Structures are given as structure tokens and as C-alpha cells.
């Protein structure tokens, strides 16, 4: 699946570096920069870094920054993008990556909505976390995104059902560059919460992304709803069910 991104790396590089990708430069770059300022992580792992621009832009005060990206096309661009930075880059899927130490902060930007096996992905991320680590991931908002992009027609779309499709899309400021043949999976929000819970995570914050009017005006149309959402999750401190069971024996 990740090889489906190979041919779009240079388009994405151009969109990000030229500032055409408003959502990257005006919405999410400030979001992740604020996150790093707030959490002051000593170590960062970015899963599915694409062209590497996000890691490079947020890593300057972080001692250990690792980015992984399995698409060879994306990886080739990312190699150039991270060259002068402290980011260590690996051409791997998260399921294949092994690291002897945990990370304070793990981010995954616009990746979970396209992974085939959400359980395996989140289980793999759990391996890199200790108690205080945070896993922060952004996805298209499952409640609203199909109204906006119309990937699924009304006969196939049922909000509560997981549904996968190969899609094509473009971005507002670069409408003629079509990114096509890439996977997309709609899952209801509750599925993300329950898979996180299954692997011992609890959600410490959940943000719906709705930029202020000044940023919205750059898109040429007002946003009618939050297009994206961001989960902030930590591993459970203890198993409350077990604690209860232990207490009841006294």
C-alpha cells in the first residue's frame, strides 16, 4: 500500500515548499509547533513522515528525532529534506520499526485514515511508548469529511461502517495536480477510541480543527465544519478493572 504514494512525492514537496498547501503551513505546522513547545519532548518519532517537512520544521529543540516512511518515492524526497537536520530517517512501516528506547512524543499526520489494519498500527505504536509518552495523530474528521470530499456516494456510505476505497483528490490551491489511486478508509470516531482503548491508551485530548476566519479566508470559502481532528493519547497508568478486583479481596 505505501508504494501507492511513490509517484506523488514531488507534487507534495512542491505544494508544501511553495506554501500552496495551506492546511500544512497555516494550520498544522503551527499546531505541531505549539505541541512541541507545550510538551518539550526529548525524543520524537514521526510515523509516515511523507516528504519529511513536518519533522524538520519541529525538531530543532529535540535531542532525538526519528522519522519513518515506507514509500520509497516519499523516502527519496524526505532524504533530501532532512539532510541538514537532526532527523534520522528510515524507510520502514511502523509495524517493521524496532527501537530499543521509547519516545516522549509520537506523531502521525494524515496516516491513520489510510492504514489497512488499524489494530496492528496502533499496537505497533504502543511499543514505542512509556507512561508519560504521548501519541498525537491527525486524520480527516470522520463525521464531516465525506460531506466535503464526497469520496463515497450515499448508497455506499454508512457513518457507522468501516469502508475502504481507492480515491483521487487535489488541494484547494493546486486543483490541477490530482493525487490518484491512493487508499482511504472511513471509520467512525468510536472505532478509533475503541482500538486505542484495546491497546491500553486513553485519550487525554481531542481537537476538532476549525481555523479562525483570517486563515479560512485564505481558502476562498468558509469552512462549514471541522475538516480534521486530532487525537492525543497516552498509555494507561494502571488497569482500573484489575485495581478494583484487587481492592475487593481485602
* Least CB distance to ligand SAM at residue 3 (A): 8
Residue 142 is a binding residue for ligand SAM (CB under 6 A): no
If the CB atoms of residues 62 and 68 are measured against ligand SAM, the closer one turns out to be 68
For 33, what's the count of Cα atoms within 13 Å in the CB-facing half-sphere? 11
If the CB atoms of residues 50 and 211 are measured against ligand SAM, the closer one turns out to be 50
At 28 the three-state DSSP class reads helix
If the CB atoms of residues 5 and 201 are measured against ligand SAM, the closer one turns out to be 5
Cell of 183: 487508499
If the CB atoms of residues 96 and 132 are measured against ligand SAM, the closer one turns out to be 96
**Spatial contact of 45 and 68, defined as CB atoms under 8 Å apart:** yes
Residue 48 is a binding residue for ligand SAM (CB under 6 A): yes
- What is the distance between the alpha carbons of residues 249 and 101, in angstroms, rounded to a whole number? 37
Q: Which residue is nearest to ligand SAM (CB)?
A: 50
For ligand SAM, which stretch binds (CB under 6 A), given 48-56, 150-158, 193-201, 228-236?
48-56
Name, in order, each residue with C-beta under 8 angstroms of 155's C-beta and a sequence gap of 6 or more.
Answer: none
Cell of 100: 530499543
> 237: exposed, middle or buried (C-beta count within 10 Å: 0-12, 13-18, 19+)?
exposed
Residue 195 is a binding residue for ligand SAM (CB under 6 A): no
Q: What's the count of helices (H) and strands (E) in the chain, helices before strands?
A: 10, 9
For ligand SAM, which stretch binds (CB under 6 A), given 37-45, 79-87, 109-117, 151-159?
109-117
Q: By CB under 6 A, name the one of 22, 56, 74, 125 that touches ligand SAM.
A: 74
Q: By CB under 6 A, name the one of 86, 91, 99, 110 that touches ligand SAM.
A: 110
Site string for ligand SAM, 76-95 (x = CB under 6 A): -----------------xxx
If the CB atoms of residues 69 and 104 are measured against ligand SAM, the closer one turns out to be 69
Name, in order, each residue with C-beta under 8 angstroms of 199's C-beta and a sequence gap of 6 or more.
Answer: 119, 122, 123, 126
For ligand SAM, which stretch binds (CB under 6 A), given 114-122, 142-150, 191-199, 227-235?
114-122
Q: Which of residues 49-68 bind ligand SAM (CB under 6 A)?
A: 49-50, 68
Measured in whole angstroms, the distance separating CA 65 from the mean position of its chain's CA atoms is 16
Q: Compute how many other C-beta atoms are within 10 angstroms of the C-beta atom of residue 9.
A: 22
| Cross-strand bridge partners of residue 105 | 44, 134
Which residues are at the interface with ligand SAM (CB under 6 A)?
Answer: 1-2, 5, 12, 47-50, 68-71, 74, 93-95, 109-111, 114-115, 121
Amino acid at each position: 500500500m505505501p508504494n501507492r504514494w511513490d509517484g506523488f512525492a514531488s507534487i507534495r514537496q512542491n505544494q508544501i515548499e511553495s506554501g500552496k498547501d495551506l492546511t500544512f503551513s497555516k494550520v498544522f505546522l503551527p499546531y505541531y509547533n505549539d505541541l512541541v513547545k507545550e510538551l518539550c519532548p526529548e525524543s520524537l518519532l514521526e510515523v509516515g513522515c511523507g516528504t519529511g517537512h513536518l519533522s524538520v520544521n519541529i525538531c530543532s529543540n529535540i535531542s532525538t528525532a526519528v522519522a519513518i516512511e515506507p514509500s520509497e518515492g516519499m523516502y527519496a524526497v524526505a532524504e533530501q529534506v532532512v539532510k541538514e537536520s537532526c532527523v534520522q530517517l528510515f524507510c520502514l512501516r511502523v509495524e517493521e520499526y524496532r527501537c530499543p528506547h521509547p519516545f516522549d512524543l509520537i506523531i502521525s499526520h494524515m496516516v491513520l485514515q489510510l492504514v489497512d489494519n488499524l489494530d496492528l498500527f496502533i499496537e505497533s505504536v504502543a511499543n514505542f511508548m512509556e507512561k508519560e509518552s504521548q501519541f498525537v495523530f491527525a486524520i480527516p474528521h470522520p463525521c464531516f469529511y465525506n460531506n466535503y470530499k464526497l469520496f463515497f456516494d450515499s448508497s455506499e456510505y454508512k457513518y457507522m461502517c468501516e469502508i475502504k476505497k481507492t480515491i483521487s483528490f487535489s488541494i484547494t490551491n493546486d486543483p490541477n495536480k490530482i493525487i490518484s489511486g491512493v487508499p482511504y478508509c472511513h471509520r467512525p470516531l468510536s472505532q478509533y477510541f475503541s482500538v486505542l482503548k484495546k491497546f491500553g491508551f486513553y485519550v487525554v485530548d481531542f481537537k476538532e480543527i476549525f481555523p479562525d476566519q483570517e486563515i479560512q479566508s485564505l481558502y476562498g470559502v468558509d469552512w462549514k465544519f471541522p475538516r480534521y481532528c486530532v487525537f492525543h493519547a497516552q498509555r494507561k497508568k494502571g488497569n482500573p478493572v484489575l485495581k478494583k478486583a484487587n481492592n475487593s479481596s481485602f
